[in-house]
Structure 1
């Protein structure tokens, strides 16, 4: 592994007030960069900033709604003006809404796509002129397994994440003539973050992430490694790789199984009132890196679930192949 050399570099992280973004801010801060932290929740950002300063990072906070292109351009300008450089931009801000497609308000689907897809495009659009002017830069897009695995009862979310994957590949093709400008994708498996707590929820049932859930610190470490040594695509967690293989080999079956698992869970889950969560506005709860869903940081528990999932996938694939003959 290459020596981490990020000291003095200017790094922008969107969605830095909680979850994976907050974990990434703390992880990067240990390498003493110039950190620019952005989100809609300025109060929570200041808390993160103070934590990062304890590790020796220089920190600037900028209240930013990534759905507003002008606000994102202002963020990029503030980052560059601060230390006269913009080295790394991490698109991380995202929202989730769950529910039957036609039972979820269309404006909710629209806002999910504005935040997750257009927010990432806004970030890239704002950062790219600086990267080209200095002839180097790293754009990191935190996509998740949702970038290739459909999420039933999260149609807007799936549309946004699949869209990011396509956008990233197209942008990477455009930038092939700029060898020192890198576009990097991260595909983490399910994380123990407050994202589910913040989600818009129109299922009528309490939501929890599907096991195994991973420690967001693993994603944060991957972000640091990719920022230091850019790679096109990075899969965080063995489950991410297995789900990728499963959907590539048996796309129809994987989608059906995912839908069946969701329906089984929702049938048994505790009832809850519908909410738009943080889809339209920030919230003032669950601003920690962790969501408290249990097995983060316990790799043996991961292996148990991974082995079961792999076995199930292989058996299902073999059965499907036999039935088709």
Structure 2
């Protein structure tokens, strides 16, 4: 698919990977429809994208609300005469002991991260089927394969999202030009963790290596042009996927241990709902402040070391069991 004048809908476009994606697509002369809860931030993104040559429609949208998502799809179709690519990207995060985190928070995380994507697919598929083509991109993250201790609601949503998408792909085989594409990026340098609901009482930061969200945005552009079922962004994404597939119990224990050790030493911070229930007015850029300097290849020595450690630990555990 050549992207000039194509209609691209992006949710969660006010910051992070969604904002980076809007800027990447804008450079290809697309017609953008951007949705998020923060209308002021969306208008800033609109101004940047128009400066790059795109036509942009802003639609304030809460993805956890099915009516909002239907309105987003209708606005895109009414304004630009169709939808070529729909990107489900909006998400929220909440960290804390499962039983110490309010159930209302877990519920909202699932509503945004799982039902929000389902709402998006439900809203756009009638348009795709009517025109007999379209690309649906789900930005799932490696969290769809690797559980996140102290983020149980997030993990439940991401595991469920991967299952939903796989089921949808099977259902749509009779529509060969309606294509569902899943992205599984590793940890990203976005403001998302600053926006997170935090019930740990400790300052949060992502585990290294942390990748540039522009890499995810570029992957979205590539998948829009050349759709494929699954795309892994960052070498560590595949490493974590296969590590958990080979040694699920070990990987789960290691991630829990790493989290507990980090939280023990992290700086104290006040508990907060973050942006779980409402938008925030800070950290609305594409990037956070956690990225590693250097090009992606810089990470390889760290990944190789982690792989060797994991394989050695797995071998030792298997020998002990035998």
SS in 2 for 1:141: strand
Alpha-carbon distance, 1:323 to partner: 1.3
Counterpart in the other structure of 1:224? 221
301-310 or 267-276, which deviates more? 301-310
Counterpart in the other structure of 1:180? 177
SS in 2 for 1:280: coil
- After the TM superposition, list the runs of 4 or more consecutive aligned residues in structure 1 that deviate by more than 4 angstroms: none
2:37 to 33, 37, 40: 40
Counterpart in the other structure of 1:315? 312
Alpha-carbon distance, 1:84 to partner: 0.7
Give the TM-score normalised by the residue count of structure 2: 0.98
Counterpart in the other structure of 2:64? 67
Contact 1:184–1:233 (CA<8 Å) still a contact in 2? yes
**1:297/1:67 Cα in 2 relative to 1: closer, same or farther (>3 Å)?**
farther
In 2, the alpha carbon distance for the partners of 1:296 and 1:52 equals 26
Contact 2:35–2:61 (CA<8 Å) still a contact in 1? yes
Structure 2 gap segments, 5+ residues each = none
**1:195/1:182 Cα in 2 relative to 1: closer, same or farther (>3 Å)?**
same
Question: Does 2:14 correspond to 1:7?
Answer: no
In 1, the alpha carbon distance for the partners of 2:293 and 2:128 equals 36
Structure 1 gap segments, 5+ residues each = none
Question: Does 2:232 correspond to 1:235?
Answer: yes
Contact 2:212–2:291 (CA<8 Å) still a contact in 1? no
1:267 to 261, 264, 279: 264
Alpha-carbon distance, 1:300 to partner: 4.4
Write the deviation string for residues 105-144 of structure 1: whole angstroms up to 9, x where unpaired.
Answer: 0000000000000000000000000000000000000000
In 2, the alpha carbon distance for the partners of 1:10 and 1:63 equals 17
In 2, the alpha carbon distance for the partners of 1:15 and 1:57 equals 18
Superposition CA RMSD, Å:
0.9
In 2, the alpha carbon distance for the partners of 1:119 and 1:156 equals 14
Counterpart in the other structure of 1:129? 126
